[in-house]
Structure formats: C-alpha cells, structure tokens
Structure 1
Amino acid sequence: MCKPSVFDAGLPTLDYSVTDTPQQIYPQFRAAQEVAPIALGPIGPEVLSYEMARAVLRDPRFGIPQGIHLSAHGITSGPLWDRVTRSILNMEGEEHRRLRSLVARAFTPRATARMHDAIHNVVNELLDGIHDAGRCEFVADVARPYPIPIICALFGAPREDWQQFSCWAEDIFKIVSFDCDLVQEEPVVLKAWDEFDDYIDAMIAARRRHLTDDLLSDLIRIEDGGDRLDAAELRMLAFSILIAGTDTTRSQLAASMQVLCDHPDQWALLREQPELAMRTVEETMRHSPSMCSTVRSATADVEIGEYSFPAGTFIIVNTYAANRDQSVYDDPTRFDVTREDPPPILTFGGGVHYCLGANLARLELSEALKILSRRLPNPRVAGPVPWKPLLGLSGPTSLPLEFER
C-alpha cells in the first residue's frame, strides 16, 4: 500500500513570515510536533522530529539543491554560479565522497587541537580591548572579528594579512546574504574571489617548496592510493573553509553568549567548572542555535516513516525543532549545560554532508566561552537583542552587554 504524499497527508501547517526569528516561530513548531513529525511551512515540508530529521540527513536520496542562495537572487548560470556549485559545499556523488575522504584527515581532533594557542591569543586580545570599559557590543567587539584570525592561522597566513582576509570575506559573503542585490554585486564578489584565489595559489606554491605546520600543508601531504588534491581543489577547499567557518562561528558565539547571560546560574557553573565548556557548546547549539535548518531536495520518490516525498520536493530539515524534540530530549526548553549523555545534536548536519569543520568549530566556541566566563564577571544583557530570521543563518545582530570590571 502506497504511503500518502506529504502534501496529501493532512499535516499541520506553519504560518510564519520568512523574516520571523526562531523565537517568534517556536510555539508553532512545538504545537505541530504534538501532531506529526512533519509540517507544511511557507517554503515546503519541514521535518520537525529528531528521528525523521536524522533519517533525512543520512539518506543519499535527499540531496543539497544546487546553488540555492544564488537561485534566490535569480542567478542560475554564469561564472559565479559555476564557481559556487563546483565547491565541496554543493557537491554530491563520487566526487564529493572522494574529496571528503581526503580532506577529513586534516580535520581530526588531534589536527585541530594545534589551534588552541591561536584561539587563546585572539580571544584574549579582543577582551583586552573591552575589559576596562565594563560594557561592550558583543557582536561588533568580539564575535564578528573573532573567526577571521583563526582561519588565517589555520591556513598559516601571517598576521599582517588578516585585514585583507577580512575584506575579501566581507565581499565574498554576499553570496549567502539576503541583504544585498547579488546581481549588482556579482562583479565585486568575483573580484574579491579572484584575489583570494591568487593569494591561496601563492601560498600553495610556497608550501609545495617548504611544508609547514598548517592546514594547507596537511592537505598537500594527504595521499590515498596515489590520489592527491590538485591546486584547483586546494583553492576550492580554502574558499569553502572561509565561507563555512566564518559567519557560522560569529553567529553561534553571540547566540551562546546571550543564552548564558539569560541563565546566570549556568554561566556561574561554567566559570567554576571550565571542564563543562564542551558540554556548554553542545547545549547552546541545541537550545539556541544560529544555524536552525538545512535544505534538501528529493532526487527520487522517497518513503520515510509514514509518508512519501515526491521526486523534486524541496524540504527544510528543521534542526532547531528537532533539537528540541521532547520525545528525545528531557524537558527540551530547559537550558542545562550539565545534561548527561544527551543524543547528538543535529546542528552540524548528518550523513555525507556532516560538517567537516565540526571539531574546529567546537574547539573555537568552547575555548572562547571558557575564557569569557573567566574574564567577564556577571555579564548582563543591557538592551534589545534583535535576531536574524530563522531561515538562512540566524543569531543576534546586536548584543549589548554590561559586566563587572
């Protein structure tokens, strides 16, 4: 017997604007979860349950739609389209599996642990600039400038080039922004991207002459049965790391800081027990994630659970709702950094597209929160904290804080 299509199964509906924040929409998600594991949202079916979200993320019949951010701007071909859709972030199939198997060797916990000193130096330098004031705008003063120096250190770029990296990143990030006219900005994006590629090409050439202790050197060293990454692949991976590892870290650090300020008892626990830092990262990314969803498209007719998804169906895997599934997480709206052995969060995705940089992201966030808890006594939110919309990359756009000097 055929299972009903998600469009004909009488599923609950979600009525929200694409400009609404996660906090505004969450009551609808929770009510819908009581009825079914899927709801019909303004964009398409949204998978809300933990188990079904994990199943979709692991099922190769659900692929990443090509160039989704560009399509939203009306760009479906041309040089920018070609370059974006050829990155590992948009790949599927054998080419994607090959690259992941090679690159994964450079992103082990042991490999990312060497970033420890760089992370501490960057965070402490940022805090030195605000510590005596007793107040700051956390997004502008700490979260926003934090990731670029770390990515530069990851590549082995010298400190004097950090500002140039930041400028390139600002222009390249227009690819994933909804706040600009990307058709108009395309020449600016391509110019910055060309300059970034030229810089990385020069670094690759230098590393081939003399390998050092950085990510680019690791990627050059990697070999599997005679297979190596070529210069174009190394260049593409550098771009992908820049795109995937900058705004995500910025937004999540700000979101984590806000929820900890809202729960001073949990902040005190972290301050007193810094060994809770990694658990704190998991809980803040479960309870208050900046990345709330990911998109998939059914490449064939697919049946999962009690429902069928027709080929071509555009699906939102709502990891924000799934990470608060009360059938999986006890008292899911409670923020508790001491949760014992919680199920793995889905914020980093799953299956063949699980975030390669998850180990580094966890280290960046946990070490930053550990230092913040030590150096900013009794932080409090000192004004409104507007968030970006749920769809795309969310998180605070501003986080005014006051703290004891």
Structure 2
Amino acid sequence: MNSTSTGRIADFSLMDPVTQSDPFDFYAALHEECPVYCMPETGFYLVSRYDDLRQVLKDTETFSNDVNVKHGKGLQGDLGILYEEIIAERGWAHVQTLQRTDPPVHSRYRKLLDRVFTVKRVRDMAPYVDDVAHELIDGWIEQGHCEFNAQFAMPLPGIIIAEQLGLGRKDITTFKRWSDALISLAIRRMNEQEIRETAETELEMQHFLHDVFEDRRKTPTGDLISALVHAHGDDEEPLSLHELQNVMHQLISGGFETTQSAIAHGMWLLLRYPETMQRLRDDPGLIKRFCEEALRFESPVQGLARMTTRDVELAGTHIPKGSMVLTRYGAANRDPARFECPHKFDIDRPNAGAHLAFGSGPHFCVGASLARQEMVSAFTVLLSRLEDIRLERELPWPAHSPSLYFMPMKELPISFRKR
C-alpha cells in the first residue's frame, strides 16, 4: 500500500471498494489537487491535509459531531430514518451521547469513561493482556498456521473489552456480530432488507444489554457496566436506559473493529517488511515505535463524519451549512507537509507519534491507551513465540471488505515455526 503515482482525483471514487481498500494514491491526488474535496457521488466534503483536519477536529462549534440521520444527510438517506423508526418502536431510540455530542454535553459522558480508561489502569492491565495473547497463541501454535485475523487480531481486543465490560469471553463471536452490524450503517449503502436485518441485530443486542443493566443495578460486580449503571454523584444524574444503550453501542463497536484492524495491519506490515520484523526480534524495545508508525501508515479508522453548523471556508473551499464533512485520518497521516516521505514505512521516523489515528481534540479516542497496550503486548508475545512467519497464501484483492470509514481485512492466513 505505497503510493507510487499521483493520478488525478477524477480517476478515483471513494465509494469504489478498490479505492477504499487502497486509498493512498487517491489521498496523494487530493493533497496535490484539492485538499478539501466535494465528492460528486454524495456531496460529502473530504478533508485530507493534517493541519486542516486538526482545525476541524478542534472546532466542534463549526464542525459538529451531532451527525443525525434526521438531517437527511446520512449515508443511508431515507432508509436511515426507517432504521431509527424500527429501533424506537421495539427497543430504545437512539440518543446522542459520547461520539455524537459536542462539548459541554460530551464532557459528561467522557468524564465517566476517562475514570475507567486511565493510563495507570491500562499499565496495570499489561500482564493480563500478555496472558490473553499467550492463551490465544496456545490454541493454534502446534498447528504451524492460523487465520491471524480471525484467530488472534479479533479475539484479543474482543476478549479484553468483553471482560472489562463484564460480559465475559464465551460470547465474543456474538459481540463481534453485533459490532459488525452496528458499524455497517456507516460504512456502506444498504437496501431495505439489509436495513431491517441490521435493525433486528441491534434490537437483539439492546434487549440483552437491558437485562444486564438490570442485573448490575441490583448486584454491582465492579465491571464497567456496573460503573456506568451506578454513575452519579453530586454533579451527575444517573444515565438513562437510552443513554446506557448508546454508550454501550459505541464501546462494543469501538472495542472490536479498530484494534483488530490495527493488529492485523501490523502483522501484514511485518510480512511485507521482514527486515523490520528482524529488527524487532533483535530489539523488542523498538516495538512501541513500530506500533506508532503502523498506526500512522495504515490508520484503522480512515475517517469519520462531522456536520457544519454554519457556512465556512476551509483551505479555500466554501462549505455550506448543513454539509457532511469526512475527516480523513488516513490521508492526514500521509500528508507530505507533516511527514517526510509519508508513503515510506519507517519505524525510525522521529514524529510518527504525531499521527491522528486516534483523532484529536475533545473526541480523542477514549480507548487509545488500551489499544496501544494491546498492540505492544500482541507483537511482543507473537515475536517471542513464532519465527519464520510468512503469508500462507496470496490475499484476495481487494484485501479489505468495503467500508467508507474503516479498513477491515478480509483474511490474513499465516504460517510459522514455533520458537
């Protein structure tokens, strides 16, 4: 996934699964020709440059996170409104909480989660994360091969977020199915049947969680759900059922897809850059630098959405009020004005940690420290136990499932020798 040609913007469409799977030539064209670009297919505005993106992320008064399908601008259009009606009729209607609110409303929800995802707590979790990684490897190391995406990259963060929430690990395949359904509305256009099927999956999750909320309300267990159910104090009101559902919606979807993608892409990078893999074996102290450069180079979240609250000009482009703006983190992390030779993978890059893979501003990823620990633990343990790691067969092309915002790998089959 190196950008080798500039091309022309007209040669690409971000609605094309091929471009979504390998968008970096498109990003290079955006940087050169039109850093703020109105997509002809959707009317959405893409923001591709690092400094422009930072401006958008910090100015929540102009670029709001409250991107509501009722505005009629969502990817699903009228079918998105149908989805909301189904959920409201048979479950708990969506309310805006963590990701889809702006300060000061956002601050209330963020404060609750910041108490849990502290740097100290994550640091103390490191041995536990290592143990989960070892346990997963124990399940397939004697076979000499595995489907890395499904057998390691997904269950590692899946088990950890499930156990931190208090849901247990035995049902992580169900939680993964829920996660996939929750993010599907944002990543591709659906027909009516798909909308109705996805709504049924979310309703299944909502009613399951309702029973968990009631159980934790009666008998707290010290997990994250217990903390959320009982979250109130002198300056706080308890979260309503609608708010609890929405916060869990975001934690379940965020806890699976993004870190899974980061770990899978990290392994894919090591397979493509075996000299880097050897350097990490020789000096495990480089693994943190490797993880930061991997996050920059192939950001697991390629972009998210904002909506303008007023007419605004950005990089010489007029954006009308009520427009959908797509923040392209993957493009900003390849901006040549910020990163020298941005399409080169280089773990010696001095400013790799300045990437925007976790966003910036008030909505900087609440789970960033946990995701970093999961990546460092994953590659430390993997490289200590496996050698001669190689791709078992050629990957399909495109290598990723269609997604407007993420880069979910379809598969990553590897073979290896036990160290």
Same fold, TM-score > 0.5, yes or no: yes
- Would the aligned equivalents of 1:261 and 1:381 in 2 still touch at CA under 8 Å? yes
1:398 aligns with 2:411: yes
Give the letter for the 2:337 counterpart: S
**Aligned counterpart in structure 2 of residue 174 of structure 1, from 175, 181, 184:** 181
CA RMSD, 1 decimal = 2.7
CA separation of 1:301/1:69 partners in 2, compared to 1, >3 Å: closer, same or farther? closer
Given candidates 187, 202, 215, the residue that maps to 1:202 is 215
Instruction: Among all aligned residue pairs of Structure 1 and Structure 2, give the percentage whose two residues are the same amino acid.
Output: 26
Alignment pair present for 1:63 and 2:64 = yes
Map of 2:80 onto structure 1: 75
Alignment map for 1:216-365 (pairs within 5 Å): 216=225, 219=228, 225-227=234-236, 229-230=238-239, 232=241, 233-234=243-244, 236-342=246-352, 344-365=354-375
Alpha-carbon offset, residue 110 of structure 1 = 0.8
Q: Secondary structure at the match of 1:377?
A: strand
- Distance in structure 1 (CA, Å) of the matches to 2:404 and 2:178: 21
* CA–CA distance in structure 2, aligned partners of residues 155 and 109 of structure 1: 17
Show CA shifts across 1:218-274 (max 9, x none).
Answer: 557866653254363455433321121112222221111101211111112222222
Task: Please list, as runs of the form range in 1=range in 2, the aligned pairs for 1:1-80 lying within 5 A after superposition.
Answer: 13=10, 15-16=12-13, 17-22=15-20, 24-41=22-39, 42-43=41-42, 44-60=44-60, 61-64=62-65, 65-67=67-69, 71=76, 74-76=79-81, 77-80=84-87
Structure 1 pair 126–69 and aligned structure 2 pair: CA distance change class (3 A): farther
Report the counterpart of residue 128 of structure 2 in structure 1. 118
More moved, 357-366 vs 40-49: 40-49
Contact kept in structure 2, 1:252 and 1:395, CA below 8 Å = no
Q: CA deviation at 1:391?
A: 1.3
Q: How many residues align?
A: 388
2:296 touches 2:352 (CA, 8 Å); kept in 1?
no
* Deviates most, 220-229 or 80-89: 220-229
Alignment of 1:135-154 (within 5 A): 135-154=145-164
**Is the contact between residue 70 and residue 175 of structure 1 (CA under 8 Å) also seen in structure 2?**
no
Separation in 1 of the partners of 2:297 and 2:150? Answer: 23
- SS of 1:46's equivalent in the other structure is strand
- SS at structure 2 position matched to 1:396: coil
Q: List gaps (5 residues or longer) in structure 1.
A: 1-10
Deviations 1:263-320 (A, max 9, x none): 1111122222222222222111111222211111111112334333110121221111
Contact 2:179 2:257 in 1 (8 A): no
**In structure 2, distance between residues paired with 1:401 and 1:69:** 38
From 381, 384, 401, the equivalent of 1:388 is 401
SS at match of 1:316: strand
Q: CA–CA distance in 2 between the matches of 1:135 and 1:72?
A: 44
Task: Say whether the 8 Å CA contact 1:118–1:153 is kept in structure 2.
Answer: no
Greater mean alpha carbon deviation, residues 165-174 or residues 287-296: 165-174
State whether residues 155 and 172 of structure 2, in contact with CA within 8 Å, keep that contact through their aligned partners in structure 1: no
Q: How does 1:127-138 map to 2 (within 5 A)?
A: 127-138=137-148
Q: Which runs of 5+ in 2 are unaligned?
A: 1-7
CA contact (8 A) 2:36 2:317 kept: no
**In 1, Cα distance between equivalents of 2:378 and 2:74:** 30
Q: What's the secondary structure of 1:268's corresponding residue? A: helix
| Cα-to-partner distance string for 1:35-84 (whole Å, 9 max, x where unaligned) | 34223334332111111111111111112322587835813132526634
Paired residue secondary structure (2:203)? helix
Give the Cα–Cα distance (whole angstroms) in 1 for the partners of residues 254 and 245 of structure 2. 14
Tell me how far 1:190 sits from its aligned partner.
0.3
Q: Do the aligned partners of 2:145 and 2:416 also contact (CA within 8 Å) in 1?
A: yes
The alpha-carbon deviation at position 195 of structure 1 amounts to 0.8
Please, which moves more after superposition, 242-251 or 86-95?
A: 86-95
The structure 2 residue matched to 1:215, chosen from 224, 241, 244, is 224
Q: CA deviation at 1:321?
A: 1.2
